[in-house]
Amino acid sequence: MEALVTGVAQMGPIQKIDSRAAVVRRMLALLAEAKARGCRFVVFPELALTTFFPRWVYEPGEPALDAWFEDAMPGPETRPLFDAAAAAGIGFYLGYAEKAGNRRFNTAILVDGTGRIVGKYRKVHLPGHAEPDPSRLGEHLEKRYFHVGDLGFPVFETMGAKIGMCICNDRRWPETYRVMGLQGVELIALGYNTPTGLGEPYQAAAQANMHNELSLRAGAYQNATWVAAAAKCGVEGGYPMIGQSMIVSPLGEVVAMAATLEDELITARCDMKLAAYARTEIFNFARHRRPEAYALITDRVGAGEPVVPSRAQMGLDDA
């Protein structure tokens, strides 16, 4: 329950030919700027070490696919990032493709100011498809390459705050934020790669930034938590992705936002006490929530038939 000066390290495009070493050099530059600007915590994007490879079609198990995944964390290429962050006393969130035995996850780790991995999250809401469809304007094959995350939405007490994580599409689902809100989360870190132009033209392109902002602000407000969201953005392999990395206050206001589609650091002083009034009154969950009315949220996966009370239950005269 104190203030954590937080940086969001937006990253511009990473092309297929860019080496991890080259990417980590860019991250080190962002980290150095974060240190100079007083940050104690930095959020890097989803799958931050490589291009967004789920746009390309691979067969499961083929070496070219496997090459996008990390064998170890930290590994030889990422060790310099851990070392530099620990030397600066800065913790960070990092998204990467994780090998876990025979399973593969879209993963983020939480590293504290000493370089220790204190938490892990594996993406629950995988968007897109498992099968390629050449009739689409572009592929989004996360359901093909990743298993569904098996760690829930844990919240970790570290760096003087209660920090949760999610990844990209998770941010559009109110359940994501609420499960962490019910653990008292104070700051949610997330990275994203959000392509535009792959789907129905109006929704997918014209509204992508609006939906990003709406999702992040609603999750923050409704759970009285800071949200720090880092994009990988710009044009990768001919495909555009949104930027608009932002830090949102527990009152749902955007307090910092990226102005480019390139490597760019934004910062805010995240005071965990800012949400105290909201947690005591309007979003005092213990006083106001009514789980007996929420059963469908965990009982159903997809939408089903309406559940309608009888006219007698509703006290209607003809009952």
319 binds its own copies (CB under 8 A): no
Q: Which is nearer to its own copies, 53 or 177 (CB)?
A: 177
137 binds its own copies (CB under 8 A): no
Distance between CA atoms of 44 and 232, rounded to whole angstroms?
A: 9
Instruction: Decide: residue 199, CB within 10 A, 0-12 exposed, 13-18 middle, 19+ buried.
Output: middle
Taking CB under 8 A as the criterion, the residue among 149, 195, 240, 243 binding its own copies is 149
Tell me if 78 sits within 8 A of 72, measured CB to CB: no
Q: Which is nearer to its own copies, 134 or 313 (CB)?
A: 313
19 binds its own copies (CB under 8 A): no
Q: Which is nearer to its own copies, 79 or 211 (CB)?
A: 211
54 binds its own copies (CB under 8 A): no
Taking CB under 8 A as the criterion, the residue among 82, 92, 156, 226 binding its own copies is 156
141 binds its own copies (CB under 8 A): no
Stretch that binds its own copies, among 13-21, 26-34, 50-58, 277-285 (CB under 8 A): 277-285
Distance between CA atoms of 217 and 278, rounded to whole angstroms?
A: 15
Taking CB under 8 A as the criterion, the residue among 82, 153, 192, 239 binding its own copies is 153
Tell me if 268 sits within 8 A of 247, measured CB to CB: yes
**Integer distance in angstroms from the first to the last C-alpha of the chain?**
54
Q: Which is nearer to its own copies, 41 or 153 (CB)?
A: 153
Distance between CA atoms of 224 and 240, rounded to whole angstroms?
A: 32
Q: Are strands 41-43 and 91-100 parallel, antiparallel or unpaired?
A: parallel
Taking CB under 8 A as the criterion, the residue among 20, 160, 252, 269 binding its own copies is 252
123 catalytic? Reply is: yes
168 catalytic? Reply is: yes
From residue 182 to residue 221, the character string flagging contacts with its own copies as x (rule: CB under 8 A) and all else as - is xxx--------------xx-xx---x--xx--xx-xx--x
Q: Which is nearer to its own copies, 56 or 173 (CB)?
A: 173
Query: Of 120, 123, 162, 232, which one is the catalytic site residue?
Result: 123
As measured in angstroms, the least distance from the Cβ of 308 to its own copies is 5
127 binds its own copies (CB under 8 A): yes
Concatenated DSSP letters for 111-165?
A: E-TTS-EEEEEE-S---S-SS--TTSSS---HHHH-PPPSS-S-EEEETTEEEEE
Neighbours of 191 (CB within 10 A): 31
272 binds its own copies (CB under 8 A): no
Helix residue ranges, H only, the chain: 20-36, 63-66, 79-88, 142-145, 174-181, 201, 208-223, 276-280, 285-288, 295-299
Q: Which two tokens stand for residue 275?
A: 């949400």
Considering only residues 67 to 126 of the shown chain, the ones binding its own copies according to CB under 8 A are: 72, 98, 100, 117, 119-120, 124-126
Distance between CA atoms of 154 and 183, rounded to whole angstroms?
A: 8
As measured in angstroms, the least distance from the Cβ of 218 to its own copies is 3
Neighbours of 23 (CB within 10 A): 20
Q: Which is nearer to its own copies, 16 or 300 (CB)?
A: 300
160 binds its own copies (CB under 8 A): no
Considering only residues 232 to 251 of the shown chain, the ones binding its own copies according to CB under 8 A are: 251
Q: DSSP 3-state assignment of 76?
A: coil
Taking CB under 8 A as the criterion, the residue among 59, 135, 305, 312 binding its own copies is 305
Tell me if 207 sits within 8 A of 21, measured CB to CB: no
Catalytic residue IDs: 46, 123, 168
